[in-house]
Chains A and B, each alone.
Chain A
């Protein structure tokens, strides 16, 4: 038996993003539920979020973000041979989102699967993409994080409806002679499965906010640091730190404890809310678009969420 010949490394060629047009401000939420702008900003750091209407589903959001990433990459649909969608909010159990999105993008017969690692999903999917390229299982991979969290959140539940939002971010990954996606550090804690849960298809999302906050502000900076160590990059050398956009206070807590002193810290949650698996590529795409982060420099991403699951890796900014 022979093995496929892969690439020495993998790198991200381009990011793309898409958000529904409708902006929901804190003031708008305060008109229907007992909350207010100051409370939401101080607790979670969100000023506004995007919410999709009934005409847009997870695959629609993924299609737009994936199309933008593909256009920015310089590759064509024919070059893509694997599509991975990270999502935990799809409308259908089957078919998966990835095959549908690939078809709509004109990508013919790629490998196509969805990843559910909740808010950590994009980091998991990116690692899958990198490994597939390095092992020779794929040449060019489209990785998309896409979520319509609003359909799994009770819009009268003031603890959660202020936080979760809809959107998608995508990356095109290809082979590279030098490594530009570092080793993933990932793991899970199934003992804490009940901390964030959508129990069944008739239920809404429930979470132990205080418990999740404690976990995120104590357990994750060592994971972030380990990803830096394994990539051979010091925290102070990071040009950007892009954690899952769960809560602005968690973002800054991990950044401070990690010592990412020279990094631009992603604060996309302020205007995008928590978009679960979409939040990391969405934030990075926005930061690159605004020219906030330098091409070719290292960024650390870390996803974390329900499961509990987490994954972190250093990437080179395209």
Chain B
């Protein structure tokens, strides 16, 4: 069964907290990773790799460049077009 938006959001929050130390609660759908959460491009790679393992999807670098917000990642993981 595909993960729900809430499940992906919670999982992503855990990943962000573990990798860059930002509290999971701050990871909300509208947040932009770079502008709002101050996460740099290398940390985004680490987050993408962790998200791949957690959600069983592949997030190549070319796609990663388009995933600007938390909502973008949730959409991508759910298999939606971003």
| A100–chain B nearest beta-carbon distance, Å | 39
Q: Give me the interface of A with B, judged by CB distance under 8 Å.
A: 42-43, 208, 210-211, 213-214, 217-218, 247, 249, 253
- The answer to whether A253 touches B40 (Cβ under 8 A) is no
Point out the residues of chain B lying under 8 angstroms from A214, CB to CB: 45, 48-49, 61
23 chain-A/chain-B pairs, Cβ below 8 angstroms: A42-B40, A43-B40, A43-B42, A208-B61, A210-B41, A210-B42, A210-B45, A210-B61, A210-B64, A211-B61, A213-B42, A213-B45, A214-B45, A214-B48, A214-B49, A214-B61, A217-B45, A217-B46, A217-B49, A218-B49, A247-B42, A249-B42, A253-B46
| A88–chain B nearest beta-carbon distance, Å | 24
**Per-residue A-contact encoding for B37-78, CB less than 8 Å = 1, 0 else:** 000111001101100000000000100100000000000000
A95 to B54, CA, bound (A): 52
A214 to B63, CA, bound (A): 14
Counting chain A CB atoms within 10 Å of each CB, the highest count among B41, B45, B48, B61 belongs to B45
Counting chain A CB atoms within 10 Å of each CB, the highest count among B42, B46, B49 belongs to B42
| B22–chain A nearest beta-carbon distance, Å | 15
Point out the residues of chain A lying under 8 angstroms from B48, CB to CB: 214
Point out the residues of chain A lying under 8 angstroms from B40, CB to CB: 42-43
Point out the residues of chain B lying under 8 angstroms from A218, CB to CB: 49
Point out the residues of chain B lying under 8 angstroms from A208, CB to CB: 61
User: Closest 7 CB pairs between A and B?
Assistant: A214-B45, A210-B61, A213-B45, A213-B42, A218-B49, A211-B61, A210-B45
| B52–chain A nearest beta-carbon distance, Å | 9
A197 to B45, CA, bound (A): 21
A269 to B42, CA, bound (A): 17
A247 to B49, CA, bound (A): 18
Point out the residues of chain A lying under 8 angstroms from B64, CB to CB: 210
A218 to B61, CA, bound (A): 13
A214 to B65, CA, bound (A): 14
Point out the residues of chain A lying under 8 angstroms from B41, CB to CB: 210
Point out the residues of chain A lying under 8 angstroms from B45, CB to CB: 210, 213-214, 217
| B73–chain A nearest beta-carbon distance, Å | 16
| B48–chain A nearest beta-carbon distance, Å | 8
Point out the residues of chain B lying under 8 angstroms from A249, CB to CB: 42
A248 to B34, CA, bound (A): 21
